[in-house]
Amino acid sequence: MQDFFDPQWGSATLGVRAAEPRTANREHSAALSLTSSYVFESAAQAAAVFSGAEPGYIYSRFTNPTTEAFEKRLAAMEGGASCVATASGMAAVLTLCLSLLRQGDHIVSSRGLFGSTISLFNNVLSRFGIGVSYVDQTDLAAWEQAIQANTRLLFAETPTNPLVEIADIAALADIAHRHGALLCVDNCFLTPVLQQPLRLGADFVIHSATKYLDGQGRCIGGAIVGDAERVGKDVFGFMRTAGPCLSPFNAWVFLKGLETLSVRMKAHCENAHGLAEWLSEQASVRRVFYPGLASHPQHELARRQQSGFGGVLAFEVEGGREAAWRVIDATRLISITANLGDTRTTITHPATTTHARISAEARAAAGIDEGLLRIAVGLEDLKDLTADLARSLHL
């Protein structure tokens, strides 16, 4: 591993240069260590490595050079001391919660979370005696009021999926720390190129690497970034024992993805901004949700806390589910899939896909209308995206 890098480098440089996994063969592009285990020179060396007295790889459930390079590079980009890669974004949420929380603990969470995270909290963690209270992402007083004596974790995703509501990360970190709790931010939508929650006071960053870190829709993976104690020891220790680890192959894909992340995110932002402006001018579109529009209620906060507005937007059409499905079915270029963070633009109807498993009341409370559509804007030419949507919107 070529370990030298300057943490002061910009995120484009860190994405290309931090933690290059170079072996004795001096590869210029990262080598892939596709091995489950490692051999030793002697019984004594095996004992020394197992005991931690001598550094070295043992078994790829918890130590692999390719996975380690991805972890170090992402940690450098997020400004964190440690990173643990996981099998998926959901495995990252689960791993963080099981590493940090115990029976009787309580989470305060934004209501506008990724659907599976809500299911995980409600249907899985609840069975182990971990409670959760949901609040409006943007209502700081509600976050504070929901805190109980046993609250250990505040959990936010910003911008939210699909309504792109912004959480004030510095303010939430302050609330958490005043009450002896910790703040975790799901940074999937913006990536460290556009937002660095740890620098704003958050304790943990969660990623679904499946999205922009990969960037081409190939692999499933995730990561937790934070300090050397809680992530480097507690989360790593849980990973070592419980094993929801990232495949080294997927780590290699993500490592290469980080090299182009900066240019890709800028292009996603530019396309999304253009599309949001175009949608705002269409008669059949009732509302457009994009933090880059001056009409977004937290436009100023987004400008302050992010260095770009991201590639995801949502909009509401007149006519509810039927009209929304009609828009989707008339597209020819845009992919009908709930995935995001891909080079390819995708469109989805949250009420019947990503948010179908939560109750109708919870959906309504989260503001997910039947006429709402989410677009994760890819890297095609903007004129071709607007042409595709023009046909479907003007049916």
Strand ranges of the sheet holding 346-348, from the earlier edge strand across to the other edge: 285-289, 312-317, 372-376, 346-348, 335-336
Let me know: does 173 contact 201? Beta carbons within 8 Å: yes
Q: Decide the pairing of beta strands 372-376 and 312-317.
A: antiparallel
Q: Which of 69, 296, 94 is nearest to 186 (CA)?
A: 94
Please count the other Cβ atoms lying within 10 Å of the Cβ belonging to residue 140: 16
For residues 88 and 138, which CB has a smaller minimum distance to ligand PLP in the complex? Answer: 88
Number of residues interacting with ligand PLP: please give it, by CB under 6 A.
15
Applying CB under 6 A, among 210, 250, 305, 348 the residue interacting with ligand PLP is 210
Give the nearest distance from C-beta 148 to ligand PLP in angstroms. Answer: 25
Alpha helices in 281-319 (DSSP H): 299-305
Applying CB under 6 A, among 80, 162, 215, 222 the residue interacting with ligand PLP is 222
DSSP 3-state assignment of 33? coil
**Interacting positions 2-41 with ligand PLP (CB under 6 A):** none
For residues 235 and 285, which CB has a smaller minimum distance to ligand PLP in the complex? Answer: 235
Give the nearest distance from C-beta 131 to ligand PLP in angstroms. Answer: 21
Give the nearest distance from C-beta 160 to ligand PLP in angstroms. Answer: 8
Give the nearest distance from C-beta 197 to ligand PLP in angstroms. Answer: 13
Residue 333 binds ligand PLP, judged by CB under 6 A: no
Euclidean distance between CA atoms 320 and 304, whole angstroms: 34
Q: Which residues contact 160 (CB under 8 A, 6 or more apart)?
A: 110, 112, 113, 137, 167
Angle ∠(244,154,140) on CA atoms, nearest 5: 150
Binding part of the chain for ligand PLP, among 29-37, 68-76, 83-91, 275-283 by CB under 6 A, reads: 83-91
Residue 165 binds ligand PLP, judged by CB under 6 A: no
For residues 346 and 392, which CB has a smaller minimum distance to ligand PLP in the complex? Answer: 346
Binding part of the chain for ligand PLP, among 34-42, 87-95, 190-198, 227-235 by CB under 6 A, reads: 87-95
Give the nearest distance from C-beta 222 to ligand PLP in angstroms. Answer: 5
Alpha carbon 376 to its chain's center: 14
For residues 60 and 346, which CB has a smaller minimum distance to ligand PLP in the complex? Answer: 346
Q: Which positions lie near ligand PLP, rule CB under 6 A? A: 88-90, 114, 116-117, 157, 161, 186, 188, 208, 210-211, 220, 222
